[in-house]
Amino acid sequence: MRLRPALALVLVAACGGDDTAAPIDAPADVDADHDAALPIDAPAIDAPTIDAPPAALALTSTAITAGGTIPVKYSCRGANVSPPLAWTGGPSAPGYALVLTDRTNNLIHAVIWDIPGTRTDLPEDVDKVAEPPDVPGAKQPLAYDNQTRGYLGPCPSTTHTYEFALYAVDANPLPTLTLSNTRAQALAIITAHDTAMATLTATFTP
């Protein structure tokens, strides 16, 4: 069937020869800047908690300054009582031990072990007995005179250097260590079980 000229003209006009699409009005509530992302409220994310390593074990005294001098009171020229000591930091430990050594001649003066892990100090003038009641649970062998239990302080003829060494240990009571052991034997067992150590060093001049 032949199309009438008027109808054909209408069809050609409807198909259009322009490749550009007619603009479409965007809805009023849509941002014209399509490159800008709409803000999204992200849920809060807690940063992971990282446990800091424990502080190093530190030994101090209100009577003795590290690198300083030991007062006469804590020597054989004075009352010869043990000085007050305290400690902080270090790993959790079931017990502690303390050793006093004359570093000038490497003589072990005194030892105390099985100090409870709940303690963070030793009082001044710990009782000079095998099991001092002022430090329940602790034990003390004979001091360097082989007669006195517990602390015996500096007694040199010239200036000597002394070291108070605190050991955190992994057992309490320390296995195989008894009151019949010598100071050297006690130190060997203590160091076989230590997990941390702190020292306080000072000098004494007669």
Q: Residue 7, exposed/middle/buried by CB under 10 A (0-12, 13-18, 19+)?
A: exposed
Residues paired with residue 63 on neighbouring β-strands, in sequence order: none
Rounded (10°) CA dihedral 91, 95, 101, 107: -130
Q: What is the pLDDT of residue 53?
A: 73
Q: What is the pLDDT of residue 34?
A: 47
Give the separation between CA 102 and CA 160, rounded to whole angstroms: 7
Give the separation between CA 114 and CA 98, rounded to whole angstroms: 9
Who contacts 106 (Cβ-Cβ below 8 Å, separation ≥6)? none
Give the separation between CA 3 and CA 184, rounded to whole angstroms: 124
Say how many CA atoms lie within 13 Å of 127 toward its Cβ. Answer: 11
Q: What is the pLDDT of residue 47?
A: 57
CA torsion through residues 78, 81, 82, 84, sign: negative
pLDDT digits (tens, 9 = 90+) for 72-128: 999 999 999 999 999 999 999 999 999 999 999 999 999 999 999 999 999 999 999
pLDDT under 50 in the chain at which residues?
Answer: 1-24, 26-36, 38
Q: DSSP character for 148?
A: -
Report the DSSP pairing between strands 107-116 and 95-102. Answer: antiparallel
Give the separation between CA 191 and CA 2, rounded to whole angstroms: 115
**CATH H superfamily, domain 58-204:** PEBP-like (3.90.280.10)
Q: What is the pLDDT of residue 12?
A: 37
User: What are the domain boundaries of the chain?
Assistant: 58-204
Single-letter amino acid code for the residue at 196: A
